[in-house]
Amino acid sequence: MSRSSRNPGNGCRGRNSVPLFPPLVVSGFRPSFLAAQTASKFSLETTSTLLGIVKEVGEMLRGVPYVKSVSGIVLQIIKIKEELTDNKRRCQELIEKVVRRSGTIFSGLKKIAESPGREGLKDLEDDLVAYTILLKEVYVALNQCTSRKMSDRVERWLNRSQLLEAMLRLERQLDDFRVNFSDNRLVQIEIHMNTLLGRAPTNGRNTQCRPILPPKPHFMYGREHERAAIVTTLLGSAPARIAILGAGGIGKTTLAVSVLHDPQVVERYDARYFVACDGVTSAELLLTELANVLRLPRDQLDENMHDLVLASFRRGAVLICFDNLETAWDNLEGRRAVEDLLMEFTSISNLAVLITMRGTQRPAPSAGWSMPFLPPLHSLHFADAADVFRHISGTMDEFAERMIKEVDCIPLAVTLLGHMVQEENETTASLAKRWAKERTALIENGGDDRLSKLDTSIQCSISSPRMRADSSATDILALLSILPDGFPNREGMLDRLQRYLPPQINLQKAISTLRRVALVHGETLTNTPRLRLLSPVRHFSKANLRIPPELRTALVDLYIEMLDDGHDSSDARSHTFVPPEMLNIRSVFAEAYESGDRRDALVKASIVYTEWLVYMGSGSEEIIQLAIQSMPDSDELLASCFYWLGKLCMRRNDVKEAHRAFEQAIELHVQAQDASGEAYDLYELGSLYIWWGKLEEAEGSFKRALELHITRGDFLGQAYDLLDLGKLFMRRGQLQEAESATSNALELLRAAHNVLGQAHAMRRLGGIYMRQDRLDEAEQSLYEAVKLHRQTKSVLGEAHDMRRLGGLYMWRHQLDEAEISFTKAADLHRKSHDLLGEANDMLNMGELYMERGQLSEAESFLNDALRLHMQTQNVLGRANDMQNLGELYMRRNQLAEAASSLATAVELHQQAGDVMGLAKDMQKMGELHLLTGELDEAEESLSSAVELHRQACNQAGEAYGLQSLAKLYAQRGKGCAARRSLIRAGALKSRLSITGGLDELELVGLVIDLDQRCACRCRLEASGYSA
């Protein structure tokens, strides 16, 4: 439900609140002049402000196509206000809403433009494209109210309810867009920018370190906020009791020592003490260590140590820091005594207490800890971790960046890595290579204590008394270590896993223990809350801890159940829980196969997992290959494995492996007498043959698949067979057959309620309509395809839609809109790892830059496209690349290169069976022959082009070819033939409402000249002379 429908008070009117047409004026009624004046003043002021911001942002972000496109359509909407004839009040309210919403958006863009590096601009591309599409719909709705023709006004009156509904829908979409964009996205980006701006290191002045304190840290990055919060609390009027919590190696001690040396803290406290609790396992040992720090006379400590220590803290303002207090507190037998002693310290009003502890649990809850609590420390932001590494090692490169990310930016790990490079024992490249094998054992500086060796630091946490007290904690830690994305901590997920675990395992208690010792932390930054292990902890646990087999089986069963629930990738509900788990599923299933699990349930789940990989457009074939190697007993199950392996290979552009997999699947399905499975294999084989340009083989596969699907009564299978038969007919230029097949497929898909299939069919229809020059219908179909693909979260489907929309805009010569669509398509194809899609996007960008006359940029894009098309073995793509390169070389007058490229294009288009592509090749060959003066060859090529365009039902291409022929005939003195060609071309162009080619005056003059020539020829022939 939209925000508007939930809350009618947000500025979006209900359906019946404002009539579409103004009511008749009743005698005595006068509208409020004051209200009208106020609204007019608001509109003028707001519009003026917006225009100023639009101009300023346009200058600051010049060259960013998304911003330029939004600016242009906003200005058109403002301009249309003066042209309204009907429904002025209703339309003006809609325009004012656009002005307000756009003002908010451009104000946000201005902040981004003023920021260093323009952080966040890239993140807004999708939003700006979506806003452009929404504004275009607004413009279309408003434009309907501008015509002054009586017939149009009558039609508007008859359709007033539909128009009102459209305006209300657009208002709701504008409101929803403001919530999603302004209230959420811009706020997130502003927070991100503020974070970036706040990362500069603090340069405090050096202070004289007292012997009883560790030396001041030479540097500290990324803890400025926490440091400031602690110092503020220490300087307050109430006695400070502060706990710095967090995982091992997270920087607790460094932060505490930095605070002890803060100039304001030095000035406030008469004495500051630091007590290292390493090895301190009881209250008695803690008192002894305190006495040593306080330098109390040893001869007085035998019986009076407790009183002497406490008395030392009652003179003046004192600050004491207990570092690693968990060593004493973790001992369950002595915990009460440690807490009692801590309570005695916190009861002294002039004593401030600062502790550091591994974990997330504060000792002695009634000790009066200062509020608000300091949150447990987390890993550094990457930029801060990079500053730490750079400060120590003096270098930074891609290998260092990779290593820093691999260790999750944990300060201790980053510090040790920096020292390893600084000592010149290692290079960043060699460290990165060793990390792949040695993992956490790699990171050390020669010592064996927790601050010198990362493994030792992690082991300290795992072997702590709190962990030993929970018999299940270490086993659950080992189990979680095989989940690279952490455990999904949605409501009920822990209970679902508990159902599969042995009864003696208490999962909730184990998780609580792991969180308390900070081996596991909760993450809520993503849509799915997660329980995660920091990367070094996960790698250490995976390498050193054993997973009990019954626990591994429980986790496998949980993910089998999850895939069974979410097997339908077209179901929007499944998208909430399956895609976020894909990395985890791969890891869990790989572990299962390696441990000898051969259950059919695991193989079936592996097939569903691979189906999701194909749907999402990326992924490894590892799991489906492991399923095949497990040799399931059922031929049908093994055939399904090969089928989905073939589909995945097609998505990865490995056509040869895909062909082998489909052939194997067909053989197995025939053996099993599974006609339905055989039909789907044949369909995929047909698609592969189209890829290769083998249209006869493709048609045979599709028709055989269609027969089998009809026999089985499989409507969905029939629909997809017809869809790809339509694609084949399109390739051949059989547009009526293509439209018929695609429309029949769409009806079947609607009957089957298959949303994803409907989206594919709408895109195919959009392409057919474009070929038939039914551009409005094409645009409507393509927008519907985008909407449906977004509904099903099909990234790859949306990518294809955006590319096709870009082609439509090119057709209309809307080059800025075309560039936006092609750029968006390329981003989505790249995200889907679809090389062929990316290659086609590069080709389209090359065509666009040629249209703009930017030939160097065009050549670069076309060569990139050719490289990718060769890599994916796509014949048609290579043909189109060579065709466009031929045209580019003609424009540069590199005629030999042009001839070579076009000859290759002809050969490849013939191989691919693409009639329309071949027609364009012959057209360009004819133009090339004209340039070289080879008029006979030119006439032959251009005549072939016209005939091929006619076969492909491409009337625009036919008209263009006839114009070129007319010019050629005129040059050769064939006046009547030239005249006939011009008239046919003019008729086609008039029918299609297109312009281009010869200038209109030039065309009229040429026709008159040709008429005179024809008349003269006729007179001569009538007089007995030959021309």
830: Cβ contacts below 8 Å, ≥ 6 apart: 838
Domains of the chain: 3-197 (no CATH), 224-367 (3.40.50.300), 382-461 (1.10.8), 472-547 (1.10.10), 549-673 (1.25.40)
Q: With a threshold of 0.85, does the pTM exceed it?
A: no
Q: Which residues of the chain have pLDDT under 70?
A: 1-49, 62-66, 85-86, 114-124, 152, 154, 156, 158-161, 175-212, 298-303, 423-425, 442-453, 525-527, 617-618, 653, 953, 989-1027
CA-based R_g, the chain, Å = 37
Dist CA 484 CA 532 (whole Å)? 8
Residue 442 neighbours by CB under 8 Å, 6+ apart: 431, 434, 435
CA-nearest of 311, 313, 220 to 261 is 220
* DSSP letters for 96-133: HHHHHHHHHHHHHHHHHHHSGGGTTTGGGHHHHHHHHH
CA distance 527 to 577: 10
User: What's the CA angle centered on 142, arms 137 and 148, to 5 degrees?
Assistant: 140
Backbone angles phi, psi at 242, to 5 degrees: -125, 135
The backbone torsions φ and ψ at residue 74, rounded to the nearest 5 degrees and listed phi first, read -65, -45
Greatest extent of the chain over all pairs of C-alpha atoms, in Å: 146
Amino acid at the residue 270: D
**Three-state DSSP class for residue 1022:** helix
**Rounded Cα gap, residues 718 and 749, in angstroms:** 9
pLDDT in tens, 415-455: 888 888 876 667 888 888 887 777 777 666 655 555 556 77
Question: What's the chain's average pLDDT?
Answer: 81
The structure tokens listed for 362 are: 């504060």
Between strands 530-532 and 521-523, the pairing is antiparallel
Quick check: 445 and 530 in contact, CB under 8 A? no
**Strand (E) or helix (H) holding 673:** none
Q: Half-sphere exposure (CA, 13 Å, Cβ side) for 281? A: 6
Can you name the residues that pair with 356 across neighbouring β-strands?
244
Q: Nearest Cα to 460, choosing from 476, 472, 449, 471? A: 449
pLDDT confidence of residue 123? 62
* Predicted local distance difference test score (pLDDT) of residue 366: 86
Name the 3-class secondary structure at 523: strand
For the chain, helix (H) and strand (E) counts, in that order, are 48, 7
Summarised one tens digit per residue, pLDDT across range 620-633 is 899 999 999 998 88
pLDDT value of position 1012:
52
